Amino acid sequence: MSSSDHSDASAQRWRLDLAYDGNGLNGFAYQPEFTTVVGLLRSTLASTLHMDEEPQIVGAGRTDTGVHAFAQVVHVDLPTRLFARHRGSDPERLMRSLNKQLRGQVRIMRAQPVSDDFHARFSALWREYRYLVLESRPPALAFNDVWSWSVEGPLDVASMQRAADAVLGTHDFRAFCRRPTNAQPGEALLRNVMSARWERIEDQWGMSPDNAPAVRLTIRAQSFCHNMVRCLTSTMVAIGQGRLPENTVKLRLESTERQFLPPPAPARGLSLVGVGYDQFAGGPSGFVR
């Protein structure tokens, strides 16, 4: 079978929109010795469709261990012979079969055949993440820490928003990213941030065990470098707690120095909630605003 980046007439490219709980998964990328999102998809596709080899899978972006997704997107090339019959119901049949085998570890939210020109990573126009923070005093129950980060409040959300405003546009984010292993010394990590918004949200179902108030960062960029959202979040939370000056983000974007900034916020509070595509590629994933 052809690779995921080089389709031929015997293969059909598919777009799969995914959701998954990062707890219990060792991240997104394939690692033979660990349970990952791509590893589960490869083995499940091969067994469900009776393929001789596991297919190659390309994602819109990688998520670290513990990070969740409501709207991840991947593409995979599958032999057309597997869909010779009942072509009209292929997407529904494929989703049902895969979800049955995946047993809730990963959930296929949408499956559709697409043009060979579609590329889950390079066709994406933007990615959107959300980070959930609970203001907790005294410390929150462990139940809350599955999908959020509990911190001591109260938080000055207005101050956090003013700090977030500083990231809009194109900047060198070296102060807020883990440097890639192949990056040259002094190489800029330029990223274009389209929106960044802090807001208070209510627990409309009354499910918070200790009624902890919640705040949420929603941030959209063309792409993100490693740990960027988590590093920005921890710095802005420190600003909201009064432990760092409000202009810290602006000054560090200018200096590109990370020294003495807080460590990245925990992975468990971060979720990928949308990936943007043109209509030819099926439009955005998720339910982003």
Catalytic sites, residue numbers: 64
Q: How far is Cα 47 from Cα 53, in angstroms, rounded to an integer?
A: 9
**Which helix (H) or strand (E) covers residue 151, if one does?**
strand 149-151
**Which helix (H) or strand (E) covers residue 114, if one does?**
strand 106-114
Q: How far is Cα 67 from Cα 69, in angstroms, rounded to an integer?
A: 7
Q: 43 is written with which tokens?
A: 């083995």
Show the DSSP H helices in 51-145 as ranges.
Answer: 90-102
Strand partners, 158: none
Q: How many CB atoms lie within 10 A of CB 48?
A: 15
Q: How far is Cα 119 from Cα 115, in angstroms, rounded to an integer?
A: 9
Contacts of 111 (CB under 8 A, 6+ apart): 14, 15, 16, 17, 91, 94, 95, 98
